[in-house]
Structure 1
Amino acid sequence: MQKAVFFMITFTLMVHGGAVLASDDVHTLEDITVLGEGTVSPEQQIQRIDIADTGAAVAATLPDVLGKTSGIDVQKRSVLTPKSSQVRIRGFDERRSLIMLDGRPLNGTGVMGGQFVDWSSISLQHWESVDVGKGAFSAKYGNTLGGIINLVPAKLSREPAATAAAGYQRYDTWSLDAAASGRTDSLGGRFSAGYLETDGHLRNSEAERVALSGEITGFWGDDGEITAGIRYTDGDYGMPVANQAGTPGLDPRYPESIGSYLIGPGIRFPTGDTHGDNSTYTKKRTELDLGVQKQLAGVDAEVKLYFNTEDRTDTITSYDQGVVVLERDATPDRSWGWVARCEKAVAAHRLGAGIDGNYQGYGGTENTYVRSGYFPVPPTDGGDEWDGTRWHGAYVDDQWALADRLDLYVGLRYEDYYGDRTVDQVSGYSGGRPAGYEPVEARFDEEVLLPKLGMVYRPADGLSLFGRFARATRFPDNPAFYWYYGGYRPEVDPDSDVVRSDLTYEDALQYEAGATFTGLPGLRVSLSGYTYRVDDYIRWIFGYSPSRVVYNIDQVEFTGVELDMEGRIWNGLSAFFNFTWQDTRKTGDVLDASNALSDSLSELPDYKFNAGIQYRRDDGLLATAAVRWVDDRQVPFIDSNSSSSPDGAPVGSRVTLMDLDAYAVVALSVRCPLWKGRTRGFLTAGVDNLFDERYEEEYGFPAMGQTFFISAGFEI
């Protein structure tokens, strides 16, 4: 309730006083990040998705917006329930892809729950569109295998603007949003506020979130800009509770599902017990940004500084006893960094260079309440690691119009990664359990050079042939770096004959080729195929004592084909279709029990497609109908603890492959203008999962059923 009152006060102030900046013509520095829109770039093809055009529901998150994109796999649990590995680009999730806010990295430490990107904390109201780039073919971006996802803000309008909207959808989900922006010759700004609450569709999946953002931009000279921004979210999230037939306490109001307490460090409950109803956590996250753009001697220059921090409070209840057994405070992410880029056009060349740094750390955990006599081994506090890892990069590149019909891209990137900490590692085993521990200095210091090459050849008007090559690396993330030393060590276990190699980075060679056709008015067709060979792929498998094992395997190969088609049919009527085939093969994995059943990475469908039609009118009417089809999948399932194990299963466990059925989901939406003029009103309504398809994106968590939504708002 306090969050709702706080939001309403902010909402009132914004609506009455937000859009007060006058409108004068100023010069804005051109965006120096080269993003191909409608043309084929030899560097990396970027697909820009307009968030407002996707017809997303009231409580939409960024994964909802990305779900109809070729090569993208999305897994959700409930309306606003956080989870790790929620978005994959060509099979690579957030730990292996670079997620950015206006060109600066967002990825966090991934500790205490594995959420390298917490999609539930990203409010869409501050952002106009999202760019998706598949593969690591650009030298501008480092420490990524999957590619990039970049949220893009709207340019400040030349006239004051304000919006407000309120909406409702199934599962008692409510939202309120407001935003205002404007600018003068020397000053501009934008502000937004949003409130969202939902009961969710799973047991104990309620969520409530307040999101605030503000940005001030100062202009100087003809092309200088300096921008300072802040984004703040305060969210309460329920931890889905197991709700399975044949178990005590089944709640028939919710679908059957397995549970997840979402966060870490892990909790060792007494035998037979787990977390129960009213288990929640509160997360407060702040993101600060400072950016400068200026053209100097014909060089477009840009510098960005950023800082992320989040604090979390956990409240854990017992399923069997229904009482609070643990309360604790944690700081899962305290990261910061900087990015500096410049570009200059010289004859037929577009020359670029840049440097960047990223520094990740986190605080410890403090158990503020532990129920006396409940835990067989009471949980202990965890220490701070404010300087966990440091990563630096530098690049040079050139886009060269070699001939009228031939463009080349050449880039070279340098990367350096450093981590150093003290870890208590297992010194030996007895009967499969740790026999003792010893402190060890865990140190990782590596540097690499990464060449990039791309080409586009246009043999005829409207036809482009392209090919790209890149070497790409991904360094061990903070959890992998820690648990390689602090987790299971088969080399000191007398019952194991496995000896792990020293932990190293993932090293990939990526190839992509294809064609794009735009030879008919209003039609665009693109076909691409890719192969990524990743050596020393890092895997981690839970269930090994004392928690998990982290190790490099020989190789994983990712292969796929993507077809994208879009075109105008008549007047404002258009259609789109995309198809994806993908396959993975791993070799040299000796610690995964499911490897004898399948040599593929689990939970990735072989085939999927999206199709839809859209009708748009100049008065703002927008109607969309779309279908998403996903092929069946298989996931390792450990009989002993009745849970899925998408990352694999310990050797010796009773593991089987469980089927996730194929599904097709239809979504409809329409946005209708209510009145026109200086102030424009609109009404939006729609339905997701029109035919109430029963399916699972993640094993054990049934997806939301037929979900109607409606919202109303105005724009000035």
Structure 2
Amino acid sequence: MPKSKLKFCSGFLLFCLCVTANAWATEKMPPVEVRAKMSTVEALSSPVSSVIKPDDQIPAGQINDLTDLLSLTNSIYIQDSTYGRQLFLRGLGDQDMRVLIDGMPLGQMGKYYARSLVWEAIPLENIERIEVIRGAGSVEYGNTLVGTINIITRQGQKETESKVSLNYGTFNDFKAKALNSGSVGKVNWAVSAATRTRDEYLKNNDVEKMSASGSVGVDLGSAGHLQITGFALKREEGLALDDRINWSVWSDARDYIEGSKVKQDTNTILAAYTSDWFDLGISYMQHKRDDDYRQETWQVGDTYDYTLDFKAPAVKAKLHHKFGAHSLKLGGEYSKSDGDADWTYYGQESGAIEFDQDLAGAFVEDSWQILPKLNLTFGLRYDYFKNKVQSVNENPETQAELDDDQISPRGSLTYDLPSGFQAFAFAGQVYKAPAMADMYRWSGSHTLKSFAGRAVLRAYYGLKQPAGAPAFLIPPQYIEGWKSLIGQMKPVKGWDYELGVRQSGENHAFQVNLFYQDLKDYITIYPVSYPPTYNVDKVRIWGVELSGVYTFNQFLEVETNYTFTKNKKEGDEIIEKLYATDELFNAPEHLLNLTLRSRPLEGLLLEWQSQFVSSRFAGGAPAVPPQVAAMNSKYEPMYDLDPYWLHNVRGSYTMSFPKTDVTFSLAVENLFNEECYVRLDYPLPGTLVYGGVSFTF
């Protein structure tokens, strides 16, 4: 770190620690408990977990979507691209984990247009907390390799509360939101609305966003509780017009002009009944996308329009009860995913793809308190899936179908040690169905329909032909060799092992966790989802996760988490030949989050937040094999993305008036204007400044 940066950091800390005694706050920070950092629901059966609360963040406007919150916890790394944000946990992408809302499965197509989930589609105003369960977790969670993210929505509390906030930042980034929640008698409610606009920082990539959410619940007394939640989002973002963007390599997007936009419309509704014995949930999500392309002149075959309509209903039921030293649960879930994608080509016949997936699971688990200090949790889970992907009005060979099932045992032990220490161990089998997008990409490569698949084939065999030239130019022996190389699509199976210790006290908490995952037939995907997609023989992932928080006094609290991860692939002949590596894409060895927090004056909160991400294998930017990028000098391949260390300074000051609190906040993100590739295909926008005011009454 340059001396000027070190001096700045030191000065900030001295300011926090050296405020005069007569101005000190009269109340200390609340004591820290390890349970507050965990999922209280699965504290025993999922010992490797953490909780993030949006309301704990300084409200300056620097948090734009869920990924900004999730990046603060252990082992999570965010990779951005022109298609949207992706989340990586322990080196595996968000399509390898399960995302839930109030315990209900959220529809995930898989990595399609470079993203597995539209993270922006879930309004932050509607979130009470986010539970992140790393590893396999309880048998209640299925169809995941590396973890489960459970988003808990907001419910009205006893006292009625309203909140209005306004934020403004760099690039005319304006945000406004309003929230009202409360309860009357046995009825609770929470409603919110928000809007955001931001100018471009690359040509044409401006943003407009509106969201609304609502929740109403009824306390049925001894009969249980009923809660209905819904939220909606509309979002428009301009397609970045820059030579570095990945789609300029593969498509006619290089000719798009200003006004080209991606429009998204997402609606979700959930109904949940809970009681002492029985829980029942029903959910429905619909996501629509419309790419509105514009060009000065159109050529025959240019992509003129693209639309996606994705629907995902789900139902889940669970019986649960405690009998003496045993806590039992038995349940099942079913989710249906149905997607229709349509392409309109200028002067040519349109193309369409139909995606269809059925996921079903059943589980039984017993949490047995064997001794006052010893708990054993053991369960079995059954998973079944059926996938079907078909290109409409095309060769029947483009249709792909697959189904499979598995029974997975999982178990954990926790033991309470003296002085507040607790040791834990976990072992369990994992199982993951290929996503619908996996099936589509694999089929496109297997049938040589995919432009990118043909390009990689030619690079692999060293054929001196144009990258995307028609398949009939490829000699038959290479076609047969290619089909044998990528094989048939399979589900991923494996084991997850966790071992660790944690301890908590009045002013501190810490956790150390060792993990090892052994995955068979892992589905590998290129950085922004381009083909080929195929199973590799084995992936092994191992490492250590450290996390802790220590409150010295009201002037200084330190919170940190660090993850060291190693991985190794076996049997990936394509990547080993093209890149001479056996690493996973976008899997940094080192991740560090460090937050220094101080309350030097009553109502004043100051934070210094730093994030370090080590180098990671990118596989060539702009997201193409280096042999293809080398054909054009402006597409210089980047085999690895450099490490970066970002520093953010944030502060808020709250003034209390009768019945109203007013909070002023300020945040400076990327304080030292670090030039780094958090985005795969172009760098960060530089230093960002946000400010805001909120009123709570």
Measured against the shorter chain, the TM-score band is 0.7 to 0.9
Q: Distance in 2 between matches of 1:123 and 1:171?
A: 22
1:152 CA drift (Å): 1.8
1:460 aligns with 2:418: yes
The equivalent of 2:362 in structure 1 is 394
Cα distance 1:43–1:612, how it changes in 2: closer, same or farther (>3 A)?
A: closer
Distance of aligned partners of 1:555 and 1:332 in 2 relative to their CA distance in 1, 3 Å threshold = farther
CA–CA distance in 2 between the matches of 1:313 and 1:161? 37
1:711 aligns with 692
Q: Structure 1 residues 104, 39: CA separation in 2 closer, same or farther (over 3 Å shift)?
A: closer
Structure 1 range deviating more: 590-599 or 277-286: 590-599
| Residue equivalent to 2:34 | none
Q: Which residue of 2 aligns with 1:627?
A: 610
CA contact (8 A) 2:622 2:637 kept: no
CA distance in 2, matches of 1:650, 1:558: 29
Q: 1:351 to 1:617 in 2, by over 3 A?
A: farther
| Shift of residue 656, structure 1, vs aligned partner | 6.3
- DSSP 3-state at the match of 1:668: strand
Instruction: Sort the Cα spacing of 1:494 and 1:104 in 2 relative to 1 into closer, same or farther, 3 A.
Output: same
Distance 1:112 1:267, change over 3 A: farther
2:495 alignment partner, one of 509, 512, 521: 509
1:151-185 per-residue CA deviation (whole Å, 9 max, x = no partner) reads 22334211211111011011110001001112222
Per the alignment, residue 681 of structure 1 pairs with: 662
- SS of residue in 1 equivalent to 2:438: helix
Secondary structure of 1:696's match? coil
Q: Which runs of 5+ in 2 are unaligned?
A: 1-36, 449-456, 458-474
1:283-294 aligned within 5 A: 283-294=264-275
> CA separation in 2, counterparts of 1:125 and 1:446?
39
Cα pair distance change 1:203/1:182, threshold 3 Å: same
- Counterparts in 2 of 1:443 and 1:644: CA distance versus 1, 3 Å: closer
Structure 1 residues 513 and 320: alpha-carbon distance in aligned structure 2, compared to 1, 3 A threshold? farther
Q: 2:438 aligns with which of 445, 458, 480?
A: 480
Q: CA deviation at 1:331?
A: 2.8
Secondary structure of residue in 2 paired with 1:548: coil
Q: Is the 8 A contact 1:341 1:354 kept in 2?
A: yes
Pair 594,124 (structure 1): closer, same or farther in 2 beyond 3 Å: farther
Q: Which residue of the partner structure matches residue 213 of structure 2? A: 213
Report matched runs for 1:60-209 at 5 Å: 60=63, 61-77=65-81, 83=84, 86-110=86-110, 113-209=113-209
1:369-413 residue CA offsets vs partner (Å, 9 max, x unmatched): x655xxxxx36231545xx01010010111111112211110110
The CA deviation at 1:567 is 1.2
Q: Secondary structure at the match of 1:446?
A: strand
Of 507, 532, 538, 1:555 maps to: 538
Query: How far did residue 65 of structure 1 move?
Result: 1.1
Deviation at 1:621, TM superposition (A): 3.5
Alpha carbons 2:593, 2:609 under 8 Å: kept: yes
Q: What is the match of residue 251 of structure 1? A: none
Per the alignment, residue 253 of structure 1 pairs with: none
Change (3 A) 1:707 1:479: same
Summarize deviations over 1:562-605 as a string: whole Å, max 9, x none: 11121111136311122111111101112336555211012221
Paired AA for residue 535 in structure 1: K
Check the 8 A contact 2:114/2:527 in 1, yes or no. no
- For normalisation by structure 1, the TM-score amounts to 0.81
Q: Distance in 2 between matches of 1:584 and 1:180?
A: 46
Taking the TM superposition and a 5 Å limit, the aligned residue runs for 1:372-383 are 378=348, 380-383=350-353
How many angstroms does 1:705 deviate by?
A: 1.2
Deviations, residues 339-369 of structure 1 (Å, cap 9, x unaligned): 11232111111111111011000123263xx
Q: 1:521-536 alignment to 2 at 5 Å?
A: 521-536=506-521
In 2: Cα distance, 1:443 partner to 1:366 partner: 22
2:325 is the alignment partner of 1:348? yes
Deviation at 1:558, TM superposition (A): 0.9
Three-state SS of the structure 2 residue aligned to 1:592 is helix
**Cα distance in 2, alignment partners of residues 543 and 359 from structure 1:** 25
Once structures 1 and 2 are overlaid, which stretch shifts more, 124-133 or 325-334? Answer: 325-334
Q: Which amino acid aligns with 2:497?
A: Y
Distance 2:435 2:42 in 1: 35
- Is the contact between residue 94 and residue 117 of structure 1 (CA under 8 Å) also seen in structure 2? yes
Q: Contact 2:39–2:131 (CA<8 Å) still a contact in 1?
A: no
Q: Residue 131 of structure 2 contacts residue 149 of structure 2 at CA under 8 Å; is this kept in 1?
A: yes
Gap change, CA 1:517 and 1:40, over 3 Å in 2: farther
Deviations 1:182-204 (A, max 9, x none): 22223222111000011142222
Instruction: Give a deviation string over 1:519-546, Cα, whole Å, max 9, x none.
Output: x5412121111111110011245999xx
Distance 1:555 1:652 in 2: 29
String of CA shifts for 1:229-269, please: whole Å, max 9, x gaps: 221111111111224xxxxxxxxxxxxx43558xxxx9842
Q: Give the counterpart letter for 1:287 in structure 2.
A: T
Q: TM-score, normalised by structure 2?
A: 0.83
Q: What letter matches 2:523 in structure 1?
A: I
Written as runs of structure 1 = structure 2, the 5 A alignment for 1:595-610 is: 596-610=579-593
1:261-660 alignment runs, 5 A limit: 268-269=251-252, 273-295=254-276, 299=277, 301-318=278-295, 327-328=304-305, 330-365=307-342, 367=344, 371=346, 378=348, 380-385=350-355, 388-420=356-388, 422=390, 437-439=395-397, 442-489=400-447, 493-496=476-479, 497-498=481-482, 499=484, 500-518=486-504, 520-541=505-526, 548-571=531-554, 573-592=556-575, 596-616=579-599, 620-637=603-620, 643-645=622-624, 658-660=639-641
How many Å apart are 1:469 and its aligned residue?
A: 0.5
Conservation of the 8 A alpha-carbon contact between 1:673 and 1:680: yes
Distance 1:521 1:460, change over 3 A: same
CA contact (8 A) 2:157 2:188 kept: no
**Partner SS, residue 482 of structure 1:** helix
Unaligned runs of 5+ in 1: 1-33, 244-256, 373-377, 427-436
After superposition, what is the alpha-carbon deviation per residue over 1:39-79, rounded to whole angstroms, capped at 9, x for unaligned? 963433321112122336515211111222221111235xx
- CA deviation digits over 1:490-532, x for unaligned, max 9? 89942253414432100011111111133x5412121111111
Q: Within 1, Cα distance between the matches of 2:404 and 2:490?
A: 8
Q: Which residue does 1:13 correspond to in 2?
A: none
The structure with higher relative contact order (CA 8 Å, sep 6+) is 2
CA distance 1:650–1:216, shift in 2 (3 Å): farther
Could you give the per-residue CA deviations for residues 102-122 of structure 1, whole angstroms, max 9, x where no partner exists?
A: 211224224752432111222
1-structure distance, mates of 2:127, 2:162: 14
Once structures 1 and 2 are overlaid, which stretch shifts more, 340-349 or 388-397?
340-349
Structure 2 Cα separation of the partners of residues 201 and 225 of structure 1: 47
For 2:24, the equivalent position in structure 1 comes to none
RMSD of Structure 2 on Structure 1 (CA) = 3.2
| DSSP-derived class of the 2:488 partner | coil
Cα distance change of structure 1 residues 593 and 643 upon mapping to structure 2, 3 Å threshold: farther
- The aligned length equals 628
Change (3 A) 1:39 1:404: farther
Higher helix share: 2
Structure 1 residue 636: Cα displacement: 1.8
Q: Secondary structure at the match of 1:562?
A: strand
Instruction: Tell me the residue number matched to 1:429.
Output: none
1:140 maps to a residue whose letter is E
Are the aligned partners of 1:455 and 1:466 in contact in 2 as well (CA < 8 Å)?
Answer: yes
Kept in 2, the 8 Å contact 1:605–1:633? The answer is: yes
Q: Give 1:691's aligned amino acid.
A: F
Whether contact under 8 Å (2:123, 2:213) holds in the other structure is no
Deviates more, 1:669-678 or 1:393-402: 669-678
1:440 to partner: Cα distance: 6.6
Match of 2:28 in 1: none
SS state at 1:697 partner: coil
User: Do the aligned partners of residues 604 and 57 (structure 1) sit closer, same or farther apart at CA in structure 2, a change above 3 Å counting?
Assistant: farther
